[in-house]
Amino acid sequence: MSQILLLTNNHGTSVDVLPALELLSHEIHILPAVPTALLDARPCELIMVDARTDLAGSRSLCQLLRATGVSIPLLLVLTEGGMAVVTAAWAADDVVLDSAGPAEVEARIRLVLTKMASTELEGNQEIHAAGIVIDEDSYTARVHGAALNLTYKEFELLKYLAQHPGRVFTRAQLLNEVWGYDYYGGTRTVDVHVRRLRAKLGSEHESLISTVRNVGYRLSDFRKLEDSMAEADAEA
């Protein structure tokens, strides 16, 4: 049995949010879907966020919970229509439909709790790509040992590119993944942040973020280049 905190602004019991919960043996504690509610919360292993009716508010709540140091799993409860707008920018660990049956809900809970336990055992994992090292826990980034002074969005953009070295992303893809679906700015925002990132990388490393003409941007994967050079040397 797990201790679960359900955050919802829809008055009622858990059966009104996720009926299958009533058929499981977990202990459910319900509080309003506001960050200050955690001050009155009991210790819990999982937070469920009722995102069925207020997508923008639920997204902001999840991001704020993460920003304030909440590290336990966040599971979103959504309608089928809401599934289309959830991205990594929400900072949630998983989603479940409000119509899901007991077996699926139990599996979702078990998987996010198991994943969290495995992550804690592994410890802090840094992202390494093309000489760039990103520490997600401390929000720091270094290039060949030199620290980079980045804004939040610059850090998020560089982290996303570093997680997929060598892969080309369109401006629209980067805008959606880093800024989120509800951001109303244009794709020029991506160009501005790439230009700032290159400036902070310095003239020696600015080419790490390359422009693919008529497509978008990518973080150069120098491992492939090094492998190719090693093969050429071996053939020679």
Question: Could you report the per-residue pLDDT of 175-198, keeping only the tens digit for each?
Answer: 988 988 667 778 889 999 999 999
Query: In angstroms, rounded to a whole number, what is the distance separating the alpha carbons of residues 226 and 69?
Result: 39
The CA dihedral of 166, 172, 178, 180, to the nearest 10 degrees, is: -150
Average pLDDT, integer, range 6-28: 85
- Looking at residue 200, what is its pLDDT? 94
Q: What's residue 184's pLDDT? A: 73
Residue that is written with structure tokens 């504690």 in the block: 29
How far is it, in rounded angstroms, from Cα 81 to Cα 42?
Answer: 32
Would you say residue 233 has pLDDT above 70? no
User: Between 199 and 231, whose confidence is greater?
Assistant: 199
pLDDT of residue 96: 94
Q: How confident is the model at residue 66 (pLDDT cuts 50, 70, 90)?
A: confident
pLDDT the model gives residue 211: 94
119 pLDDT more than 90: no
- What count of Cα atoms within 13 Å lies in the side-chain half-sphere of residue 54? 13
Residue 64 pLDDT class (50, 70, 90 cuts): confident
* Res. 212 pLDDT band, cuts 50 70 90: very high
Name the band, by pLDDT with cuts 50, 70 and 90, for residue 118: low
pLDDT of amino acid 88: 86
How far apart (Å, rounded) are the C-alpha atoms in residues 34 and 147?
35
How far apart are the C-alpha atoms of 197 and 195, rounded to whole Å? 5
Q: How confident is the model at residue 76 (pLDDT cuts 50, 70, 90)?
A: very high
Mean pLDDT in residue range 204-225: 82
pLDDT given for residue 228 in this prediction: 41
Confidence of residue 174 (pLDDT cuts 50, 70, 90): very high
Report whether 21 contacts 105 (CB < 8 A): yes
pLDDT above 90 for 71: no
